[in-house]
Structure 1
Amino acid sequence: MSIIQFPKDFLWGAATAAYQVEGAWNEGGRGLSIWDTYAHTPGNIRNGDNGNIACDSYHRYEEDIAYMKELGLQTYRFSISWSRISPDGTGELNEEGLNYYHRLVDKLLENGIEPFCTLYHWDLPQALQDAGGWKNRETIDAFVGYAGTMFKEFQGKIKYWTTFNEPWCVSFKAHYIGDLAPGEKNLQSALDVAHHLMIAHGRTVQLFRQLGISGQVGYAPNVSWREPFSSKQEDIDACRRRIGWMVEWFLDPIFKGAYPEFMIKAFEAMGAKVQIQQGDMEAIKQPIDFLGINYYTGSLGRYKKDNGLFEIEDIDEGYERTDFNWPIYPSGLYKVLVHIADRYGSIPVYITENGACYDDEPVEGKIQDAKRIEYLRKHLTQLNRAMEAGVPVKGYIAWSLLDNFEWADGYSRRFGLIHVDFNSLIRTPKESFFWYEKVIGNGWLEV
């Protein structure tokens, strides 16, 4: 066995998101979000599930924090439900909602756990969606106003702020592929939404600086990797387009002040065009303190004419797969991190999500999730490899602390280090919980 060592100041954490764990969908003055509407619409969610109760963390946050303490977490990444703060997205604030997050943050700090806050994890207030949602540029103003309220409310309490989680999902998956709220299927809409998210991000970072907020502000795109199947230029170009869709499209504007030209041409060939107004790119190009990276999967890619947006097919070379049927491709984490560092320079990186879906159930009160442990071990090894290559990775935040509402798949998919019985809501730590506890305590792992 070999030892993989991490720095003493490396930040270890786990993550959740508001709609996936909180529940209390109509309590405490909370307004409707697009996920309430989407999940309550028959046919959208597997088994007719919804997030009305989820893990009930709104009422059980103290129990969840006790588990975090036992796990040895140094940071907890959570998101704020915008509609719990501002039921209509703008206007009067909901004091009960603010007080809930103050209680949560205060309890984290009492237990020596650093709050790592995401301002937007997909749950737009429904009132804003009714006015056009992220396709409407006025939603940018609403978001910046909401963000400013949060910055001022939690000044001195929250040191790590993330503007958006996985903008690719919010735009392309929700507005082009159409299997996330609000469920639209229009490429131009997806491009418009993506651009407006980028502006909202940039203006929020500007506001963070203007207000003089202490701490750090960043951004958390989801990425994957496609390795060309061969040295043929058509395979290389197909993979470049596929990576460009998730990486360059959402990072070039921040770090380079422009969208990548090869992707602009690719979209225009499909009849869609990014609608840039004067001042947009200047607003987006704001220095950020860190880059969050969410990584789960990747594969080999090969050119295939008329196959999807970018004429690429995935080639399965016999990958093991998670219960979500995602290929397990740990070296893709190393490759995408090196690619990002080579293209954008030495920006501090936190892995803000990485984890595996395995639907293990308790046997005699224990959950033996050896496959999840192996997944995490392999990805932490590749992460350390990237660090040895010079990528400034500052922390690792596992997805997820708890089994939870897995969006369109409802409660049929489990990513948690802690098993949740969705009937009784009883929490049971899995073997991966105890393995991760040792990794955090030691600061190293055996491979």
Structure 2
Amino acid sequence: MNKDEFGKSFKWGVSTAAFQIEGSCSAEGKGPSIWDTFSSRKGKILHGQHARVACDFYNRYEQDLDLVKALHIGNFRFSFAWSRILPEGKGTVNQKGLDFYNRLIDSSLERGINPWPTLYHWDLPQALEDLGGWTNRDIVGWFSDYTDLCARSFGDRIDHWMVMNEPMVFTGAGYFLGVHAPGKTGLKNFFPAVHHAVLSMAAGGRILKSANSQAEVGTTFSCSHIEPYSQKSWNVSAAKRADVLFNRLMIEPVLGMGYPDEELSILKGIRKYMQAGDEDKMAFDFDFIGLQTYTREIVRYSLLTPYLHAKLVKAENRKVPLTTMKWEVYPEGIYSIIKKYSAYKQIKKIYITENGAAFPDELRDGGVDDQERLSFIQTSLQQLLKAKDEGCPVDGYFVWTLTDNFEWAEGYHPRFGLIHVDFNTQKRTIKSSGKWYGEFLK
């Protein structure tokens, strides 16, 4: 396998996110985000860790971009921190926040690296959460204004945009389960958050496309290959319901298909929050869809699980190889995911905007020999190429992630990076996987 087999137009990259790497959480006028607040609460983050420094990317971005260039990575995905640009989420603009992202974009281009920004990667301004956050329909307008500001400020140098990162995760974990920021729970929060996120995704797409019709505009979705625990009818049905919730709920309304609530009746509760004309407002013809996949899930019937009557069979109970996240090591799942989403006729192009694995990397003799991650990436690419050769419209692959970082509620324990970070000294060390990726792209 070599790079040329994927075609000359294939996009190779690496992905990051503002809150996970930037640090400087209150520097130069930045306002607090829901993750700043959530991380400060006792017991919410593993070992009580926080992202006030993280990878110090805010101060070290040029050093990290030099590493991106050294590894021959042509496309760099990052996100804008909404509250760095608009400290209150709306109203007064923080010019120093705009200046930082202008420097980041310009510095990328100077190095021959294409910037791929994501507008929203989970770090909602706390001031907007105080007004209800994603449960308040006004957020569609707030997000639209923020998108318009970014389009006007940076759009002259951006060829590829992503509107949102994994809306199912930030609504499910943050507004239903409460294990992510802002820590809300229950269907009364989940349903409006889902609907308003969908409306905002489409609204953001329309604004970016109208600002520059030549730019490629997309949005990203989390997705996992799902299999039933057995072929018993109740397990097969449970797996289908889980697929509706985890893989279909967010993308189908964007594709103009509406919510898949006929196949999971509890989702009809979303209709309470819909207004006249919303069916059309939910849909947008994105130039590409970003898929983010890491593992597979095995699902069995569960009478005691409310609403879904299905539950995941934990990988640690299945006697399979595990990552640090306790996810099954299953790079083959990327093939099934690409095939699944390629079946939607509305999807014109697919990029894998996140894929990778966390392992207990150790720095020894000045290096990190992460053969498990290297094998995971290589197998994932073989499976991607198989899907591409079968006619699937997949045209890009981004590794998660550039450097070890703050992994949300898991703190700094899981290491996903191609580059090791000593969080005490901020020293970067390219791992074996990073060296291989650089040579492969060279």
Q: What TM-score results when the alignment is normalised by the length of structure 1?
A: 0.94
Deviation at 1:346, TM superposition (A): 4.5
Residue by residue over 1:206-226, the C-alpha shift from the partner in whole angstroms, topping out at 9 and shown as x without a partner, is 222333453111110100111
Task: Pick one of 277, 286, 289 that aligns with 2:287.
Answer: 289
Secondary structure at the aligned position of 2:372 is classed as: helix
Farther-moved stretch of structure 1 (155-164 vs 104-113) = 155-164
Q: Does 1:323 align with 2:324?
A: yes
Q: Does 1:421 align with 2:419?
A: no
Q: Does 1:377 align with 2:375?
A: no
Deviation at 1:204, TM superposition (A): 1.4
Farther-moved stretch of structure 1 (306-315 vs 213-222) = 306-315
Contact 1:319 1:329 in 2 (8 A): no
Residue by residue over 1:62-94, the C-alpha shift from the partner in whole angstroms, topping out at 9 and shown as x without a partner, is 000000001111100000000000000111111
Deviation at 1:274, TM superposition (A): 5.2
Deviation at 1:247, TM superposition (A): 1.9
| Rounded Cα–Cα distance in structure 2 between residues aligned with 1:388 and 1:301 | 30
Structure 1 segment 71-86 matched on structure 2, within 5 A: 71-86=71-86
Could you say if the C-alpha distance between residues 272 and 284 of structure 1 is closer, same or farther in structure 2, counting changes exceeding 3 Å?
closer
Could you say if the C-alpha distance between residues 272 and 101 of structure 1 is closer, same or farther in structure 2, counting changes exceeding 3 Å?
closer
Question: What's 1:206 paired with?
Answer: 206
- Structure 2 gaps of 5+ residues are none
Task: Pick one of 258, 278, 293 that aligns with 1:280.
Answer: 278
Q: CA RMSD in A?
A: 1.7
Question: What's 1:343 paired with?
Answer: 344
Contact 1:108 1:115 in 2 (8 A): yes
Could you say if the C-alpha distance between residues 352 and 308 of structure 1 is closer, same or farther in structure 2, counting changes exceeding 3 Å?
farther
The one-letter amino acid of 2:23's match is: G
Question: What's 1:404 paired with?
Answer: 405
Contact 2:325 2:414 in 1 (8 A): yes
| Rounded Cα–Cα distance in structure 1 between residues aligned with 2:426 and 2:380 | 30
Could you say if the C-alpha distance between residues 72 and 192 of structure 1 is closer, same or farther in structure 2, counting changes exceeding 3 Å?
same
Question: What's 1:28 paired with?
Answer: 28
| Rounded Cα–Cα distance in structure 1 between residues aligned with 2:2 and 2:98 | 44
Deviation at 1:334, TM superposition (A): 1.2
Question: What's 1:182 paired with?
Answer: 182
| Rounded Cα–Cα distance in structure 1 between residues aligned with 2:76 and 2:310 | 37
Structure 1 segment 213-232 matched on structure 2, within 5 A: 213-232=213-232
Residue by residue over 1:136-167, the C-alpha shift from the partner in whole angstroms, topping out at 9 and shown as x without a partner, is 11111111101001111112211111111010
Could you say if the C-alpha distance between residues 83 and 263 of structure 1 is closer, same or farther in structure 2, counting changes exceeding 3 Å?
farther
> Runs of at least 4 residues of structure 1 off by over 6 A?
none
Secondary structure at the aligned position of 1:296 is classed as: coil
Contact 2:209 2:217 in 1 (8 A): no
Q: What TM-score results when the alignment is normalised by the length of structure 2?
A: 0.95
Residue by residue over 1:229-280, the C-alpha shift from the partner in whole angstroms, topping out at 9 and shown as x without a partner, is 3333322221111111122111110113411133451435xx7755211121
Deviation at 1:97, TM superposition (A): 0.5
Q: Does 1:44 align with 2:37?
A: no
Deviation at 1:390, TM superposition (A): 1.5
| Rounded Cα–Cα distance in structure 2 between residues aligned with 1:156 and 1:305 | 54
Contact 2:15 2:401 in 1 (8 A): yes
Contact 2:261 2:267 in 1 (8 A): no
Count of residue pairs the alignment pairs up: 438
